[in-house]
Amino acid sequence: MPRVLEPELMDDPEQALVYARADFEKENQGFIDRFHEYYPEFTEGHILDLGCGPGDIPVRFARTLPSCRITGVDASEPMIGLADVAVKQASLADRITFRCERFQAVSLVEPADAAVSNSLLHHVPNPLQFWYRLRQLVKPDSPVLVMDLLRPDSPEEAQAIVDRYAAKEPEILRRDFYRSLLAAFTEDEVAAQLAEMNLSRLIIDVVDDRHWVVSGIIH
């Protein structure tokens, strides 16, 4: 099945609110735990989160790694508004900063010590821009963790995944999940992107029936 693009930004306020209220605890804590498992020596420094959405992953990183600070980047104003509220509620505003900017345009005073991104790449029309910026925005030899959906073989399979994992979710979330599956990349496509960008120290792993993870040290 060919890739079907979805809108790049999640900037509809209702869409952002429904996404922020959804229960992604298992997925998001799993993402933090995976980072910690892959990079146990990484306990302090500046983590960059590209496409941070409503800020749940930055909050979880800040709680798990108390000597780290986190910058979240998202170009959706409603998402950044929700992220600001989440961080204030968690009393973590001293270590988490948000930037309402496209990752393609963001610039840091100093490159970060690690970069993470969950569920962003499928939104991006040109995925090579993402890998290019990822390398630019971190110091050499920094750990990265990128996770996203895996495109199924057919629209019917995408619908079956939505029904299996989001049967009781609000219609907006089910619609976005379906569209995201159609816009996602296959394992071979991501591997080809890494090869084209000469990111040979990053490896892709398919971790379940609908997700891939790219990890490794960027150079």
Ligand X SMILES: C[S@@+](CC[C@H](N)C(=O)[O-])C[C@H]1O[C@@H](n2cnc3c(N)ncnc32)[C@H](O)[C@@H]1O
Binding site for ligand X (CB under 6 A): 8-10, 24, 51-53, 56-57, 73-76, 79, 102-104, 118-120, 123-124
Question: Closest by alpha carbon to 47, among 130, 143, 188?
Answer: 143
| C-alpha separations of 126 from 9, 39, 189 in Å | 14, 28, 12
Residue 86 CB, shortest distance to ligand X, in Å, is: 11
206: which strand partners? Answer: 212
Task: Identify which of residues 83 and 204 has a Cβ nearer to ligand X in the complex.
Answer: 83
Task: Identify which of residues 53 and 152 has a Cβ nearer to ligand X in the complex.
Answer: 53
In total, the chain counts a number of residues equal to 219
Task: Identify which of residues 58 and 152 has a Cβ nearer to ligand X in the complex.
Answer: 58
Residue 50 CB, shortest distance to ligand X, in Å, is: 7
Residue 166 CB, shortest distance to ligand X, in Å, is: 13
Task: Identify which of residues 114 and 120 has a Cβ nearer to ligand X in the complex.
Answer: 120
CB 83 within 8 A of CB 55: yes
- Cα three-residue angle 177-158-77, rounded to 5 degrees: 15
Task: Identify which of residues 73 and 202 has a Cβ nearer to ligand X in the complex.
Answer: 73
The distance in angstroms from the start CA to the end CA of the chain is 33
Residue 178 CB, shortest distance to ligand X, in Å, is: 13
Residue nearest to ligand X (CB): 53
Residue 76 CB, shortest distance to ligand X, in Å, is: 3
Question: Closest by alpha carbon to 145, among 14, 56, 49?
Answer: 49
